[in-house]
Amino acid sequence: MRTPKNECSKCKKPLEPNRIGKRRYCLSCHNEYMRNHRPKHSELSPLQRLKANCRSYVHVYIKRGKIVKQPCCICGNSVVEAHHADYTKPLDIVWYCREHHLELHKNA
């Protein structure tokens, strides 16, 4: 039997209004899953830890307004992602839209 779209697939409680039609699990079930399955920072390899720290550093700078997102350097799209060519330089960023960012990594 298929679960209605407005209730959690795991606990069967009603979904939060912002999750209806977008997610299968309520926020508390999702959080529990992530706590049990996402690796802790100490369990990451040195390269994974470096990448995570670099991304976190950039997000903090964006949040504080010290870095402003720029349009995609290829197509000019304003919905962009940060790309790091070198993770030892967290503020050396090139901005790509999702499509061009995936294309860059696919060809690398």
Dmax over Cα atoms in the chain, in whole Å? 51
Q: What is the spatial distance between Cα 26 and Cα 20, in angstroms, rounded to a whole number?
A: 9
d(CA 51, CA 87): 6
List the pLDDT tens digit at each of the 108 positions of the chain. 555 678 999 999 999 988 888 888 999 999 999 999 989 989 999 999 999 999 999 999 999 999 999 999 999 999 999 999 999 999 999 999 999 999 999 987
Separation of first and last alpha carbons in the chain: 44
Instruction: Please state, in angstroms and rounded to a whole number, the distance separating the CA atoms of residues 25 and 36.
Output: 15
- pTM here? 0.69
